């Protein structure tokens, strides 16, 4: 199964990209780095520059139909930049419209707010997004991992890097279950 990882060209929290990525690889699936521009993305360890990663696909050239799920890594800058890109927002909306599962950690639910897919859903995030989620019609909870089965797809959210083990285990189970049901 191909799983999209959507990031901005700069600002993704490295561990929130690499640990979920490794989970996909270890399970025998195909992670695909999708960004708004070709080339490389620059990751960060909080505010410090970290490694670069090669972009596999540009968001303007792909659609949800070619993926089994979408992972939205966090970092403060990553979703903040992505939510200003119409094609990135449309890509996220496409996953919800097509019933494919989505996983978002830390600050990444900002993309869900921008894509207007939070209404009626229960989710978690970094605590500073609590008001944004509530204002977008969602219910914010302080849980390590939250799975919301709403409509035709499932949404997996998590709060922070300390929750990565539970996040990775949960989203992979949800994605594999969805793929088996297709």
Q: Per residue of the chain (182 residues), what is the pLDDT tens digit?
A: 999 999 999 999 999 999 999 999 999 999 999 999 999 999 999 999 999 999 999 999 999 999 999 999 999 999 999 999 999 999 999 999 999 999 999 999 999 999 999 999 999 999 999 999 999 999 999 999 999 987 678 999 999 999 999 999 999 999 999 999 86
Query: For the domain that residue 99 is a member of, what is the CATH number?
Result: 3.40.50.880
What per-residue confidence (pLDDT) applies to 182?
Answer: 67
153-158: strand order across its sheet: 57-58, 30-35, 2-7, 69-72, 102-105, 153-158, 145-150
- Active-site choice (29, 45, 46, 107): 107
The SS3 call for residue 86 is helix
Our answer to whether residue 107 is catalytic in this structure is: yes
Task: Provide the domain count of the chain.
Answer: 1
CA distance 87 to 65: 15
Domain that holds residue 89: 2-180
Q: What is the pLDDT of residue 153?
A: 81
């Amino acid at each position: 199964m191909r799983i999209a990882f959507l990031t901005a060209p700069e600002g993704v929290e490295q561990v929130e990209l690499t640990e979920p990525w490794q989970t996909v690889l270890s399970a025998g699936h195909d992670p695909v780095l999708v960004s708004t521009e070709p080339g490389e993305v620059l990751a960060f360890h909080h505010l410090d520059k970290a490694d670069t990663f090669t972009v596999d696909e540009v968001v303007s050239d792909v659609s949800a139909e070619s993926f089994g799920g979408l992972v939205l890594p966090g970092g403060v800058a990553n979703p903040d930049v992505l939510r200003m890109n119409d094609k990135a927002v449309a890509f996220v909306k496409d996953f919800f419209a097509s019933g494919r599962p989505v996983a978002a950690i830390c600050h990444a639910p900002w993309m869900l707010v921008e894509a207007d897919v939070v209404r009626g859903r229960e989710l978690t995030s970094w605590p500073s997004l609590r008001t944004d989620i509530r204002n977008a019609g969602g219910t914010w909870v302080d849980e390590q991992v939250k799975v919301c089965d709403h409509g035709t797809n499932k949404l997996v959210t998590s709060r922070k890097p300390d929750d990565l083990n539970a996040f990775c285990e949960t989203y992979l189970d949800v994605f594999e279950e969805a793929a088996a049901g297709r």
